[in-house]
Structure 1
Amino acid sequence: MSSRSQTPDRAPTTTPAGRRPRGVRTLTPRDRIVAAVLLGVPLLLDLAFVWLPAAGTTLLSFTRWNGVGSLHADPCRPDVPAVLNNGCLYGIQNYHQASTISPEFWPAVRHNLIWLAVFVLVATPLGMLFAVLIDRGIRGSRMYQSILFLPVMLSLALVGIIWEFVYSQNFGLINTVIGRNGDGDAIDWLGNPHLNLWAVLTEATWRQAGYVMVLYLAGLKAVDPTLREAAMIDGASAWQAFRRVIFPVMRPINIVIMVVTVIESLRAFDLVYITNKGINGLELLSVLVTSNIVGETQRVGFGSALGVVLLAISLVPISIFLHQTFRREESP
């Protein structure tokens, strides 16, 4: 008598008509309303406070508008009263004046590029070094982390005031330590146009390094510890394990840090404005934008053109970096 093995029938792979597969939840009207609110409110705020002002600034950069109700605009047509020409189309003349006539434009661009280079080459590696040392669990790591992160918690205005006591020509800490306090040989760190940019960059680096440290600490905590252990078993040193295994894994964090670094370096304003209002060796594009839009001259069109230039300068390195990074990820 032959026996025949019985195998259970497989579950049908298709669902009956009119029925949804298990595990798929249908959205109720209430769910749709909640989703619309959660997506729509941030989108509206982003449009209202970011994209619409950016578009308005771009349009104003092609005008001679000098402010609401201003009667001192340069007329586009001599036969028309100035108040009617206030806001008239001016083409690219604002950009032409910025690049050829304004004596402060190119020094401001150069200082912004120096600021960016210092953040990329000094502040970011320094913050990474702090994060790696603290992540290794050295004694007192929590105390060091709090001390290094403290400048980030302070406002930039307060940071500038603190460093004024360090750099002060008459009673500053540095001049006191080097024995040049209050005499004719005292160094004017913030008044000398050959020194003040580097002095303010030291303040900014002191704060930026702590910010980068926290971001890298978050990235290091998210790395799978078995990767480091496997590298050590293969005979890699601590530096080789970090450079060849850990650092490539933190690519998303590197993208965030690079974008944040570019933005922070190009929007620098508070420290230089507190020091000497962005003049005498501390010209920056952000300060020029503010001084032209809300300053005494109120050249809103010209200041808007400078703002568009600043936006373009910030978008170029970010776009190139993101394009190169995502292209490497997509390549096999």
Structure 2
Amino acid sequence: MTVITDAAENVAGAGVSGSGRVRRLTGGDKIVLGLMVGVPTLLHVALVWVPTLVSILLSFSQWDGIGGLATIKWVGVQNYTTMFTVSPTFWPAVQHNIIWLVFFVLLPTPFGMFLAYQLDKSIRFTRFYQTAIFLPVVISAAVTGFIWQTIYDPDNGLVNSILGTNKPGTSYIEWLGDSHLNLWAVLVAASWRQAAYIMILYLAGLKGFDPALREAAALDGATEWQAFTRVTFPALRPINIIILVVTIIESLRAFDLVYVVAGTNGTKPGLELLSILIANNILGESSLVGYGSALAVVLLVISLVPIVSYVFQTFRKDQQA
């Protein structure tokens, strides 16, 4: 925020010369400034706010998305009532999203922190390790899904080959077909990418950490674990808040990997997620735009909670500074 403040001060003082005389903006300057501010604003409004407001309005309607606007039937809060009381997939989807969040907090996040802490040390081939670990974040979800489909293949997959459950006379394990296993299998696949993403974020935070604090803790006789828990980790509080917000958002928007790996259409038992239900209701064969929009509004409200909390804490910190 300090950089943004300094930039704003520079822009505000751009019209003042070194001698204190005010320099008026030319017509060209005004056009450039207008384009720099206006184009991103228009794109943001057109691609974010307009679809959001339209989704909120459509959530109170019943529409198949095919006919014109005249075919929209306004039903009030019926979609929300159906969602909370009648739908057999909404609450399982919420439960699975919560499991997704808890799993991300307990496994990929600490593991990514561990990787970042180790790579922050002066070891050989650090850049190579960083690139290799960060690779899952760079490649597309389709490639990632194909890799894990191969790993979980019941006949020739790596997991069943290691466990010996793909031999004749043995019972194959359907990692993606069993409703008791498919969610956990996809979570492991998603953790591959999430741990790499968390590693980069923590590594960026550790690069800005003053090593003198760690050296002072060592001189006081603190072990490496004590120095990390009492000095390093508390100093990474801003990064921890960002990672918490990112983890919550990632657990809510989980969609692409589930769709690619498991081939789910939103109705496969064990893999119901809010994002999958939204896509299935709006883009599926039986298009229910109103109900899908209501699901999207609920997901939006849930997502705004960590975002608003983070923004509030950031502005409060700037005011205190």
Give me the TM-score of the superposition, normalised by structure 1: 0.82
Choose which of 263, 275, 279 in structure 2 pairs with 1:276: 263
Choose which of 175, 179, 202 in structure 2 pairs with 1:216: 202
Seen in structure 2, the aligned counterparts of structure 1 residues 248 and 329 have a Cα distance that, compared at 3 Å, is farther
The Cα shift of 1:197 comes to 0.2
- 1:87-106 equivalent positions in 2, closer than 5 A: 87-106=72-91
Q: Is the 8 A contact 1:165 1:173 kept in 2?
A: yes
Aligned length: 301
* Matching of residue 45 in structure 1 with residue 32 in structure 2: no
Aligned to 1:28: 25
Aligned to 1:120: 105
Aligned to 1:141: 126
Seen in structure 2, the aligned counterparts of structure 1 residues 41 and 246 have a Cα distance that, compared at 3 Å, is farther
Aligned to 2:297: 308
**Equivalent residue letter for 2:263:** N
Rounded to whole Å, the distance in 1 between the matches of 2:42 and 2:310 is: 28
Aligned to 2:3: none
- 1:260-299 equivalent positions in 2, closer than 5 A: 260-274=246-260, 275-277=262-264, 278=266, 279-299=268-288
Give secondary structure in 1 for the equivalent of 2:62: coil
Seen in structure 2, the aligned counterparts of structure 1 residues 40 and 57 have a Cα distance that, compared at 3 Å, is same
Q: Is the 8 A contact 1:191 1:280 kept in 2?
A: no
Q: Is the 8 A contact 1:255 1:322 kept in 2?
A: no
**Equivalent residue letter for 2:204:** A
The Cα shift of 1:33 comes to 3.5
Q: Structure 2: where are the runs of 5+ without partners? A: 1-15
Rounded to whole Å, the distance in 1 between the matches of 2:162 and 2:242 is: 39
Seen in structure 2, the aligned counterparts of structure 1 residues 121 and 330 have a Cα distance that, compared at 3 Å, is farther
The Cα shift of 1:255 comes to 2.8
**Equivalent residue letter for 1:135:** D
Per-residue Cα deviation, 1:141-160 (whole angstroms, up to 9, x for no partner): 22221221111111112111
Seen in structure 2, the aligned counterparts of structure 1 residues 41 and 249 have a Cα distance that, compared at 3 Å, is farther
Choose which of 60, 65, 68 in structure 2 pairs with 1:67: 65
* Matching of residue 257 in structure 1 with residue 246 in structure 2: no
* Matching of residue 162 in structure 1 with residue 147 in structure 2: yes
Aligned to 2:5: none
Q: Is the 8 A contact 1:262 1:318 kept in 2?
A: no
Rounded to whole Å, the distance in 1 between the matches of 2:21 and 2:306 is: 43
RMSD (CA atoms)? 2.5
Greater C-alpha radius of gyration: 1
Rounded to whole Å, the distance in 2 between the matches of 1:92 and 1:169 is: 45
Give secondary structure in 2 for the equivalent of 1:125: helix
Q: Is the 8 A contact 1:197 1:281 kept in 2?
A: yes
The Cα shift of 1:188 comes to 0.7
Rounded to whole Å, the distance in 2 between the matches of 1:212 and 1:27 is: 47
The Cα shift of 1:56 comes to 0.8
**Equivalent residue letter for 2:150:** F
Seen in structure 2, the aligned counterparts of structure 1 residues 125 and 329 have a Cα distance that, compared at 3 Å, is farther
- 1:163-242 equivalent positions in 2, closer than 5 A: 163-183=148-168, 184-242=170-228
Rounded to whole Å, the distance in 1 between the matches of 2:214 and 2:251 is: 33
Report runs of 4+ in structure 1 exceeding 6 Å deviation: 328-332
Give secondary structure in 1 for the equivalent of 2:122: coil
The Cα shift of 1:108 comes to 0.6
Per-residue Cα deviation, 1:147-185 (whole angstroms, up to 9, x for no partner): 211111111121111011111111111111111115441
Give secondary structure in 2 for the equivalent of 1:169: coil
Rounded to whole Å, the distance in 2 between the matches of 1:151 and 1:201 is: 14
Seen in structure 2, the aligned counterparts of structure 1 residues 326 and 20 have a Cα distance that, compared at 3 Å, is closer
**Equivalent residue letter for 1:276:** G
The Cα shift of 1:25 comes to 6.8
Rounded to whole Å, the distance in 2 between the matches of 1:196 and 1:160 is: 13
Give secondary structure in 2 for the equivalent of 1:193: coil
Q: Is the 8 A contact 1:171 1:182 kept in 2?
A: no
